[in-house]
Amino acid sequence: MNVAIEKVVDSMSNEIVSLLQKMIQIPSENPPGNYEQICNFLEKELNSLGFEVQVVDVPEEETRKLNLPTPRKNVIAVMKGNGGGKNLIFNSHLDTVPVGDLQQWTYPPFSGTIANGKVYGRGATDSKGRLTSYIMAAVALKKSGIPFNGDIVIAATCDEETGGVLGAGYVTGQRLVSGDMVVVEGYSNHIVRAMAGVLQLRIKSTGRPAHAAFKWKGINAVEKMAKVILELTNLQEQLKHQPSEIEGMKYTTVNVGVINGGTKVNVVPGTCEIEVDFRVIPEQSLDDIYNLVSTMIERLQMEDPEVNIQVERVPDFQTNPTVTEANSPLIEELQSAIREVRETTIPVVGMLGQSDTRWFIQNGIPGINFGPGTNNNNLHGYDEFMEIEDLIQTTKILTVLGKNFCGTKQLVTD
C-alpha cells in the first residue's frame, strides 16, 4: 500500500483510539435521543482537525410531527479537496441503542475502557467506531500530503436506530449533502450491497367478551388470533423455498414480535393484537407480502365466520429493498482499496437488516456499506467493543479509498 498513508495512519493510532473513547464517553442513547453534547463535541473537534463544519438543527415542527421529546441535530463536515474531483461521503450515525442493565457490563458502558486490544463501550462499533474511522481517514489523507481534488464529506446523522427520518432522511431530502458515492456504516469482513425491505403489520382480532364459566356466550379473540399465527408460520415455511439470489440474504422472514390480548384470566378475551415484522428480499415487494397475508386472512374468515380480523400497515416502518448492482464501480473502488491494504478482497453480500444507505440511494447518491468491526462485536448487546487493530486497518483502507476516488480530476465534456 501507499507508504505515506500507512505511516500517517500508524502515527495517528493513539489519536484515533482517543477520539473513539471520547465519543463513547458522551451518551447518545436513542430513545430518547440526546444529541446536544455529542454535536457540540464534534463541532469543536472537527473544526480543530481541519474540516468545515455545520451543525444542522432539524426544525422543531418536524420533531413535533413525530412526537419526539428532544431536539434532533446532524453534523456535516467537509474536508475540502483542491476542486474538480469526485466527492466521497462517509455516513455514520450519532445515536446508540440504550445500554440496558448496567450490572451486565464488564466495563462501564460509557467508559471507553481499553482491554485486550479492544475499546469497550456502547457505540464502540455501532456506530461511533465507524464514525471515528471515517473522520480519521479524511484527516490522514490530508496529513499525508497526497493531493486530492474531490471533497470528503462526513455526514454524522441522528436517529438511525429509530429509522433515520430526521437524520440521513432529512439531510439527503434537504440536499444538505452531495457526492458521487457514499460509504455507510458497515463491517470490515464484507461489503454489503443490498438491504432488505421492511414491512410491519398490526393485526387485530375482535371477538366477544364473556365470563369464562359461560365461554359459549363469547368469541375468544386470542384463539382466533392463534389461527392467524399458525398461518403466518406456514407462510414463513413457504417463503423459505423462495430464496434470494443475493449471497447472504437468505429469504423473506416473518417475525411475530409483539402480542397483546385479554383483560383477565377468567374473561373470554374480546380483543387480541399482534405486530409482525417482515424483512423482504429484493426479488419480492412489500405489496407482494401484504397481499399474501390479506389473502390468507380472507380464507380464514371464509372458513370460520367468527374470525374477525383487521390488518393495518404501520406507515413509519415501511421501506423498500435497496440494491447496488454487483458490478457497480463503487464496489470495485472499495475492493481496490482493500487489495492495496490487505492484498486480498472480501465477500460482497446482502443482508436482511436496514441502514441509512436507502436515504442516499433514494436521493440519487449510490452507496454501499463498509466500516470497522464485525457482527461479532456485541452490537446492541452487553460489552460492545471495537478491536483496535481492525479500527486502524480499516482507517487505512478508507484513506486509500479517499486517495483513489477523490484524487483524480473529473473529465469535463461538452
Start-end of H helices in 49-166:
60-65, 128-144
pLDDT at 22: 98
Q: Which amino acid is at 366?
A: P
The secondary structure of residue 70, as a DSSP letter, is S
- Please tell me the predicted confidence (pLDDT) of residue 184: 98
Rounded Cα–Cα distance for residues 360 and 346 (Å): 24
Coil, strand, or helix at residue 209? Answer: coil
3-state secondary structure of 29: strand
Residue 271 backbone phi and psi in degrees, to 5: -140, 155
Say how far apart CA 158 and CA 358 lie, in whole Å: 15
pLDDT of residue 342: 96
Read off the amino acid at residue 255.
Answer: N
Which overall architecture, per CATH, does domain 197-319 show? 2-Layer Sandwich (3.30)
Would you state the pLDDT for residue 407? Answer: 87
**Residue 25: helix, strand or coil by DSSP?**
coil
Whether the bond between 28 and the residue before it is cis, its omega within 30 degrees of 0, is no
Query: What pLDDT is attached to residue 2?
Result: 85
For residue 195, give the amino acid letter. Answer: M
Q: What is the CATH number of domain 3-195+322-406?
A: 3.40.630.10
Q: In this predicted structure, what is the pLDDT of residue 408? A: 65
Q: What are phi and psi of 272, to 5 degrees?
A: -150, 135
Residues near 91 by beta carbon (within 8 Å), at least 6 away in sequence:
134, 155, 156, 157, 168, 182, 183, 184, 185, 356, 357, 360, 367
**Do residues 35 and 160 lie in contact, with contact meaning Cβ atoms separated by under 8 Å?**
no
Question: Is 197-319 the same fold as 3-195+322-406?
Answer: no
Determine the pLDDT at residue 177. 97
Domain ranges of the chain: 3-195+322-406, 197-319
Q: Are 147 and 407 in contact (CB under 8 A)?
A: yes
pLDDT value, residue 413: 38
Extract the residue ranges of the chain whose pLDDT is less than 70: 408-414
- Which value, to the nearest 10 degrees, does the dihedral of the CA atoms of residues 129, 22, 103, 114 take? 70
Q: How far apart are CA 188 and CA 356, in angstroms?
A: 17
Cis peptide before 31 (omega within 30 of 0): yes
Q: Is residue 54 exposed (0-12), middle (13-18) or buried (19+ Cβ within 10 Å)?
A: middle
